[in-house]
Amino acid sequence: MGTERNVLLKYLLFSAAVLVAPIFFSGGYLLNVLVFVGINTMLALALNLLLGYAGQISLGQAAFFGLGSYISGVATANYGMNPWTALVLAAVVVGVIAFTIGFPILKLKGHYLAMSTLGFGIIIYILFNETIDLTGGPSGLSGIPYFSVGEFQFDSDLKNYFLIWGFALLMILFSVNLVNSRIGRALRAIHDSEVAARVMGVNARLLKVQIFALSAVFSSIAGSLYAHTMTFISPASFGFNFSVELLTMVVIGGLGTVYGSFLGAALLTLLPEFLRTLQDYDIVFYGLLLVLMTMFMPGGLVRIPSLVLPFLAKFKVRRQGNA
């Protein structure tokens, strides 16, 4: 947690790093990858609020991401809506959907919750594929317009980088404040002992549904941003595999940590670019990574400093002792 000042400092440092990053990757194709890191950071963060803080699993996150994308895509490409309006519309619709299904679904716990969110994800995935008149089906939806402000169009990687990271930074700030508040505390309480949280007057059922809906809205916004920067979307991006990948990001980055979401998203987005040589075997590598992480570093990447620093300190003391 740290003190309030440390929290703010960390956020400012992170934002500064995000702002200067393009200098080092300008024009390159890595910049394009960093755009994806931004989108995946939002998605991982959304899942982390639900899973890492409230302790509720969802294997249907890709569906909310996809719904955001498709509502945005269809409304703009087929009906000529302004992309910004479409983003808001998608977020509201997805929020309402999540809130509605959240009440029955979040009564379930553990494996049953995982299965029901999985089922929801599959239903939505099939919907994208089968409503061909609307979505273009498996061959995808093209002709989605870029975002624009007046004459200015977000049509290059660099412009989209700042657009997407702008949103990501806002979501991170929102989340950092939330998890360090009365609400964040109540979420962690539900995670540790739901019955005790309820006895303390926390309306666990409502709060779980609210955070589920918030997670869906974040995912939907990421989806709209994705649709309007790629200008082409197809159902393949929103399948079950991607939900599992998001789960992997959160676990590897660090459950219940805001910045862990970024670390996990960055690793799992950048890694494939370096693992091209492994071709189809990259999935083996992911599996191995997940197993090793959960065995040796269950706290996630975000814990590395707290693991390494004491070790270094000890090393230093020993050297001084020898001298």
Picking from 245, 138, 222, 104, the residue whose alpha carbon sits closest to that of residue 172 is 222
In sequence order, which residues have a C-beta less than 8 Å from that of residue 131 and are 6 or more positions away? 137
Of 159 and 188, CB closest to another protein: 188
SS3 content of the chain, % helix, strand, coil (to 5): 80, 0, 15
Of 272 and 299, CB closest to another protein: 299
Residues 179-218 that bind another protein (CB under 8 A): 181-186, 188-189, 191-193, 195-204, 210-211, 214
> Minimum distance between the CB of residue 255 and another protein, rounded to whole angstroms?
11
> Minimum distance between the CB of residue 260 and another protein, rounded to whole angstroms?
15
Of 179 and 268, CB closest to another protein: 179
According to CB under 8 A, which one of 30, 178, 244, 297 is a site residue for another protein? 178
> Minimum distance between the CB of residue 205 and another protein, rounded to whole angstroms?
8
> Which region among 71-79, 138-146, 170-178, 225-233 touches another protein (by CB under 8 A)?
170-178
Helix axes 204-230, 29-48, angle to 10 degrees: 170
Of 183 and 275, CB closest to another protein: 183
How many other CB atoms sit within 10 Å of the CB of residue 159?
15
Does residue 6 bind another protein (CB under 8 A)?
Answer: no
Q: Is the CB of residue 94 less than 8 Å from the CB of residue 219?
A: yes
The Cα–Cα gap between 214 and 144 comes to 26
HEC profile for 46-94? HHHHHHHHCCCCCCCHHHHHHHHHHHHHHHHHCCCCCHHHHHHHHHHHH
Of 35 and 98, CB closest to another protein: 98
Q: Is the CB of residue 58 less than 8 Å from the CB of residue 215?
A: yes
Of 214 and 301, CB closest to another protein: 214
Query: Running DSSP on this structure, what letter comes out for residue 238?
Result: G
Q: Is the CB of residue 68 less than 8 Å from the CB of residue 222?
A: yes
According to CB under 8 A, which one of 175, 219, 224, 237 is a site residue for another protein? 175
> Minimum distance between the CB of residue 178 and another protein, rounded to whole angstroms?
4
> Minimum distance between the CB of residue 243 and another protein, rounded to whole angstroms?
24
Residues making contact with another protein (CB under 8 A): 174-175, 177-178, 181-186, 188-189, 191-193, 195-204, 210-211, 214
